[in-house]
Amino acid sequence: MKLFADRAVPITALAFLFFGAQLAYAQTSRIQGHVMDKGRRPVAELNVELLNEVEAVVMRTKTNGSGGYAFGNLPPGRYFIRVRTFGTPYEEQTQEVEINTFIGGRQVADFQQRDFYLKDRKDSERRLGPPGVIFAQDVPPDARRHFDQAVERISSNQLELGIEELRSAVSAFPDYFLALELLGLELLKQQKCSEAVPYFERAVAINDKAANGWFGLSFCYYSTEAGRKAVEAAKKAAGLNPESAEVALILGMAQRKEKQFIDAERSLLRAKKLSDGKSPDVHWNLALLYAYNLKNYRLAAIELEAYLKLKPDHPDAPLLKKLIQQYRNQG
């Protein structure tokens, strides 16, 4: 396979870069979930914080219209998720989460689901009202019971039992948005994208303001080679969550797959800005775009070098350093 007819770039290095692109995003770990009131209704516009093991704030976000939140591009470690409820009638809540990206000696993505069911403050009658709930459903008791059991199972790492409970919840109430979205996310976590797609599609059909649902759908479309659909789903997710580096990243990757190279560069540079330049996946995919598609080897070298700074102990670091030097010479 001759990728650069007029460039002396080692085929082994290019092959590594090409196949590594398929793994880079798959190795992105993520914590996500929903925040709901005691009636299992989503609560929007609440501040959610991600803290490290010494309880310093790493990231902040707000719940979206379906009560969803997400933190992505996470290295392994111990974290805390804190829902801030100042000015609302709810009590503040915190949950501990551990990200583990090495299972059986193999690096994998770790997707953790943490849902919150807020309790009323004892002095809530003297406080301001809650943020607006943009999407809510009247859920039959049987479906809600299965959903609650599913959340409990998943939180206890009984994933298969949790998935079966979610299937039961959807069977009892086919339009159960939260169950559909969570089922899609859990199947995505197991890399069963083809199976997850219909659940995501149904979820966003019921609630088209579901940023997590559109993100999951874009990821699954991308993974199942439905590039055009991945672009459209990612654009929808970006419109709902414009400050998400993860969303901008998957949009750029999907645009590159569809040969929309200028748009892909724009999206990936936005992901780089939103992530403060601290996402190795963003640098990796920019390097691919510049080296393979835009033929800007100077920028490819810069992005690949930035990737290595964030991944200094990468097993193929010597090979990548040689490739960086060659790109500099070619630029």
Q: Is 56 exposed, middle or buried (0-12, 13-18, 19+ CB in 10 A)?
A: exposed
Q: According to the model, what pLDDT value does residue 263 have?
A: 98
Asked whether the beta carbons of 126 and 132 are under 8 A apart, the reply is: no
The helix (run of H) or strand (run of E) holding residue 3 is none
Q: According to the model, what pLDDT value does residue 159 have?
A: 85
The helix (run of H) or strand (run of E) holding residue 125 is none
Per DSSP, what are the bridge partners of residue 70?
A: 32
Chunked into runs of 10 residues, the chain (331 residues) has average pLDDT values of 32 39 53 87 88 85 87 88 83 90 63 88 46 67 91 81 95 94 88 94 93 91 92 94 88 96 97 90 94 95 94 87 92 72
Q: According to the model, what pLDDT value does residue 135 have?
A: 64
How far apart, in whole angstroms, are the C-alpha atoms of residue 57 and residue 80? 9
Q: According to the model, what pLDDT value does residue 108 have?
A: 66
CA-wise closest residue to 155 among 85, 96, 84, 82: 96
* Residues 6 or more apart whose Cβ sits within 8 Å of residue 329: none
Q: Which domains does the chain have, with CATH numbers?
A: 11-136+209-330 (2.60.40.10)
